[in-house]
Amino acid sequence: MKYEPVGVFDSGVGGLTVAREIMRQLPKERIVYFGDTARVPYGSKSQETIIRYSRQIIRFLKTRNVKAIVVACNTASAFALDTIQPELDIPIIGVVKPGAKIAAETTRSGKVGVIGTEGTIRSRIYTETIAKHDPNIQVMAKACPLLVPLVEEGWLKDKITVEVATRYLQPFLESDVDTLIMGCTHYPLLRSMLRRILGNQVNLVNPAYETARGLKRLLQDNDLVNDGKCTADGKHYEFYVSDAAEKFMEFANNILPYDIDNTQLIHIEEY
């Protein structure tokens, strides 16, 4: 079982920032990545729909014999993880809890900010998860629905993106928030811009990084660490999408440390 791959899924390309962290921190692990590009984005959809989509994806990943699952999508972590976890016989981890935990541990002002999609923010998942760590921490949350389309348009360093991000971040600048969670997997691609807008007083939390650390512990606890001799070269990574494989590969090759040359299309609705 320990030589089987880790399944990683997201609504589209955003979860590649999580896959990238796993590749960096756990270079011996094989990965099967699924991006639901036919039904992206998840951020504006309802909980019921996200649970249905997540179940389909997990059924698909299990056909690839995954030993553990990473929900590399904040909306799916918020909406579906608690429902799906008891249905599974393999370990699963989302991006929300690791990000919330480090933010709760890091803040000194006791005020944490969260930015994300409409779905993630509406779910109040970060607010509730942080409250479980420390009910005295105040959480200020803001949906930033335009940041994903701006990243996907490729306007990563554009002045319009700066203007939009500055407007979204304004309430945090006028507050005592000292820790801001990038609660959407696309946002780390805007990290240096967000950093410039927020200044050095605010600590930026990247849940992708914390999730890869959490996965490492989860594999250790379940005796699932791949201790084989294989070295990372991009060949033990498999990519699947529900639509537009070419476009996915192009985006992936801008993000990942290895060039990928094969992405398979599957009909996720059949799972």
Contact footprint for its own copies (CB under 8 A): 37-40, 44-46, 48-49, 145-146, 149-150, 152-153, 160, 163-164, 167, 242-244, 247, 269
Q: Which is nearer to its own copies, 39 or 101 (CB)?
A: 39
Taking the complex as a whole, the smallest distance from the CB of residue 35 to its own copies amounts, in Å, to 12
Q: Which is nearer to its own copies, 131 or 173 (CB)?
A: 173
Q: Which is nearer to its own copies, 117 or 129 (CB)?
A: 117
User: Out of 57, 66, 73, 256, which one is annotated catalytic?
Assistant: 73
144 is catalytic: no
Q: Which is nearer to its own copies, 134 or 158 (CB)?
A: 158
From residue 126, how far is each of 31, 101, 113, 115 by CA, in Å?
27, 10, 9, 10
Taking the complex as a whole, the smallest distance from the CB of residue 62 to its own copies amounts, in Å, to 20
CB burial of residue 111 (10 Å; 0-12, 13-18, 19+):
middle
Tokens representing residue 214 in the block = 């959490």
Q: How far is CA 241 from the centre of its chain?
A: 16
Number of H helices, E strands in the chain: 12, 10
Q: Which is nearer to its own copies, 13 or 215 (CB)?
A: 13
* Cβ contact 34:240 at 8 Å: yes
Q: Are strands 68-71 and 111-116 parallel, antiparallel or unpaired?
A: unpaired
User: Out of 58, 112, 182, 184, which one is annotated catalytic?
Assistant: 184
DSSP codes, 35-90: E-TTT---TTS-HHHHHHHHHHHHHHHHHTT-SEEEE--HHHHHHTHHHHGGG-SS
* Cβ contact 64:7 at 8 Å: yes
Tokens representing residue 7 in the block = 């399944």
184 is catalytic: yes
Q: Which residues are catalytic?
A: 73, 184
